[in-house]
A and B are shown apart, each in its own frame.
Chain A
Amino acid sequence: MNPSFRRTLQCLSMAAAFVLGARGAQAADITGAGSSFVYPLISKWSASYADKTGHRINYQSIGSGGGMAQIKAGTVDFGASDMPLDEATLKQYGLGQFPDAIGGIVPALNVEGVAPGQLLLDGNTLADIFLGRITRWNDAAILALNPGLDLPAANITVVHRSDGSGTSYHFTHYLSKVSSAWNASVGAGSTVQWPGGIGGKGNEGVAAYVRQIPHSIGYVEYAYARKNHIAHARLRNAAGTAVEPNMASFQAAAASADWDNSPHFSLLMLDAPGSDAWPITAASWVIMPVQPKNAANHAVALDFFEWAYTHGQDQARTLDYVPLPESLVTRIRTYWKSRFQR
């Protein structure tokens, strides 16, 4: 054996020992799949969590539909979805669910002379715009909400998401809740038959269209609108207050939502009653089996989310996700005890 070959072999065996050592006895590999909305958050959390504990969380952002399918089939340790499962489905597949993050959805617009946050809309007006009933920016309904604002007599171009998404799911559920006309003619879902307008792929697609097309209006995730400086509208909430979309108003929505009557957190925080609540506040849910195939992994996954609630909230804030209010976290811990037999 020549010396250089021997040296290579030594290096290789050391590397192997290092890799195997790092894998260690207790380090677990947790797998999760689903929502692309929480993907940046979970990947940031999992990096810090791996540094602390050595457990790795492998999360694949394959979409909420895919995440639900995988957790129902039991091929991952946890699924993440932008749409909650109802109680019957949870029971049928032996699953439990709890929220992991909150975000807001904001109307984004491009109207000459209208600054971010200057325009005020209410649910009905927003629905009528997306229904194509209100076609011009100087429509009486918009002017009535915005006295003193100089709105052009231009046609409104509506921009919606073309891909199936949790954002559309929450947005259309909100419109269905506040407008009976929307509910009757379009309804709610992650993909709907839009009455008009054009579809952009992803938040970035909608944002690009809104920016390029004068007099357009669309909807994007708050984090996206903030990072890209897109003009947003204020909304009038259920309590009648005109609110700005921000961390405080999203948290107010989460805190004022009626969790008492939704034991599995299958509740949309839309049009929440709080006086400062942002009306289109969305959540994302983690779905886990009640009787896991791999109990050790299950425990680590729960520990990961416990760590995230206690130590990961600053990271959530830097990524423009809204930390869950403390009252909700307490509820989730109680739910874990009753549902998952930790």
Chain B
Amino acid sequence: MPAHATAHALASGSDRSRADGQAAAGSHAAQQRSRRDARHDAWFRLALQGCALLVLASLLGAALSTLWGGRQILLHDTMGFLTSSQWNPVTGQYGALAPVFGTLVTSCIALLLAAPVSFGIAFFLTEIAPAWLRGPVAGAIELLASIPSIIYGMWGLFVFVPFMASIEPTLSNTLGRLPVVGTLFQGPPLGLGLLTAGVVLAVMIVPFITAIMREAFQSVPLRLKESAHALGSTSWEVVWNIVLPYTRQAVVGGLFLGLGRALGETMAVTFVLGNSYAIGYSLLMPGTTISSAIANEFNEAVGNHRSALIALGFLLFVVTFVVLLCARLMLRQLAKHGDAR
């Protein structure tokens, strides 16, 4: 077979296999091999596509099945479900506002506390720490990430809640006296509540954010940092002006991965949040979150109550989706801002 015919036969394949085909022209065995390679490539591509589709399908399946499971409530009274803060299984009123409020508030507290701490740890590990310390500390942080959330819950309930109860009177007497933020820190010093849950969540998401930030910081080319140092920058200036802008995408991505985990966290929150369907100004008051409401009530729920809990699950999808969408938009804004600079 002449060379141009072989090339023609393989023209439908990928660029690479066509190139292979031309190189192997004339030899029958080589031609077969290149055909086999092309076939394997196609299979490989199919397998990868399958994996990707599987993720999409399970996501879609989960979202649709929660929507279907919650149809009784969503069809019955959509506005009531979305806007009411009344959750009363006895009278059959189900309003999701209190759990959504609790979910957002605890996750925001967690992110506000975890972001600077994670940044500090990652900064320390990549720029400041001596080489012999980096491995062990990084390992310890990854270990923290593998602790199951029920352990954090137990720790929160038996250790951290009493500690918070002991410092909350001080908080109320100092921060609680400030003019505007004061209302955030007033209330009975129970040790339970939105603030405690936020802190426990922060401890839980720090390892995730730190791990991603550290990886990102390590990926910054050495010559950039060295150039900055050579120009007389301090370590802080190097990180703030060189490393952070260079790793912006990964850092924000890491923050939102942590936020996503905080939004869906169940057991640890259930133990320290106080589980009360209330919306208030004070961070010391008990609240509830979407996932802890589901975990608490699903076992004994029947009929509309069960449907309302499944609808809550769907709402968690929506809330997470909206939050991630905001993250994307923010990233895009940041990118524009960076380009302009």
Contacts and interface: CB of A to CB of B under 8 A. Distances in A.
Interface of A: 36, 62-66, 68-69, 155, 157, 162-166, 186-194, 196-201, 205, 208-209, 212-213
A157 B188 contact: yes
A208 B87 CA distance: 25
10 contacts: A65-B301, A68-B302, A163-B300, A191-B305, A192-B89, A193-B91, A199-B275, A199-B288, A201-B295, A205-B157
A159 B302 CA distance: 24
Q: List the 3 shortest-distance A-B pairs measured between CB atoms, nearest first.
A: A164-B300, A199-B275, A63-B299
Chain B contact patch, size range: 20 to 34
B296 A201 contact: yes
Nearest to B89: A191
A63 B271 contact: no
Contacts of A63: 299-300
Contacts of B78: none
Contacts of A209: 192
A199 B288 CA distance: 9
Contact of A200 (B165, B188, B275, B302): B275
B13 interface: no
A163 B274 contact: no
A132 to B, nearest CB: 12
Given A200-B275, A213-B165, A189 B89 contact: yes
B299 A163 contact: yes
B42 to A, nearest CB: 43
A216 to B, nearest CB: 9
A189 B90 contact: yes
A213 B275 contact: no
B313 interface: no
Given A188-B90, A197-B276, A199-B286, A164 B299 contact: yes
A26 B11 CA distance: 70
Q: Say what secondary structure dominates the interface of chain A.
A: loop
B188 A64 contact: no
Interface of B: 86-91, 157-158, 161-162, 165, 188, 190-192, 270-271, 274-277, 286, 288, 292, 295-302, 305-306
A69 B302 contact: yes
B155 to A, nearest CB: 12
A160 to B, nearest CB: 9
A199 B276 contact: yes
A164 B191 contact: no
B274 A198 contact: yes
A38 to B, nearest CB: 14
Given A198-B274, A198-B276, A157 B190 contact: yes
B96 to A, nearest CB: 14
B286 A187 contact: no
Given A164-B301, A188-B90, A205 B271 contact: yes
A164 B305 CA distance: 11
Given A63-B299, A164-B298, A198-B275, 20 more contacts: A63-B300, A65-B300, A155-B188, A157-B190, A162-B288, A163-B295, A163-B300, A165-B300, A190-B89, A191-B89, A191-B296, A191-B300, A191-B301, A193-B87, A198-B192, A198-B274, A198-B276, A201-B296, A208-B157, A212-B162
Contacts of A200: 275
B159 to A, nearest CB: 11
Given A189-B90, A199-B276, A205-B271, A212 B191 contact: yes
Contacts of B306: 65
Interface centre among A162, A164, A190, by most chain B C-beta atoms within 10 angstroms, is A162
A62 B87 CA distance: 23
B299 A62 contact: yes
Interface centre among A190, A192, A199, A208, by most chain B C-beta atoms within 10 angstroms, is A199
B219 to A, nearest CB: 42
A65 B297 CA distance: 10
Given A155-B188, A163-B297, A201-B270, A212 B161 contact: yes
Nearest to A190: B300
Contacts of B91: 187, 193
B181 to A, nearest CB: 24
A164 B286 contact: no
Contacts of A166: 300
A191 B298 CA distance: 10
A200 B296 CA distance: 9
A199 B273 CA distance: 8
B271 A65 contact: no
B165 A212 contact: yes
B277 A193 contact: yes
B193 to A, nearest CB: 8
A165 B192 CA distance: 22
Contacts of A192: 88-90
B286 A198 contact: yes
Given A191-B89, A212-B162, A163 B276 contact: no
A215 B174 CA distance: 24
Nearest to B274: A198
B278 to A, nearest CB: 9
A165 B300 CA distance: 6
Given A163-B296, A201-B275, A186 B90 contact: yes
Contacts of B295: 163, 201
